[in-house]
Amino acid sequence: MGISALLPYIQILLSLLLIGGVLLQRSEAGLGSAFGAEGFSTHYTRRGAEKFLFRATIAVAVLFALSSFLALII
């Protein structure tokens, strides 16, 4: 079994992790700010587990993009 046989399963796993990571993150923008409403403009700093989840989501997204490019090449 080569990498080309395992790649679809790796992509499925990475996509599920990416979906879960995005859904678990806190939404900072409400619907009003999407339409240009001036609201509270507070700066928010991620700490602890939320910071880890944010960075892990970025890492999974990069791995998913790399696996997608690898699938194009193979």
Q: What is the 3-state secondary structure (H, E, C) of 17-63?
A: HHHHHHHHCCCCCCHHHHCCCCCCCCCCCCCCHHHHHHHHHHHHHHH
Domains of the chain, residue spans: 7-25+41-73
Query: Among candidates 16, 2, 18, 1, which has minimal Cα distance to 56?
Result: 18
Residue-level pLDDT at 42: 65
60, burial (CB in 10 Å: exposed 0-12, middle 13-18, buried 19+): buried
Residue-level pLDDT at 46: 85
Q: Is the pLDDT of residue 28 over 90?
A: no
Residue-level pLDDT at 31: 54
Tens digits of per-residue pLDDT, 45-61? 889 999 999 999 999 99
Is the Cβ–Cβ distance between 14 and 70 less than 8 Å? Answer: no
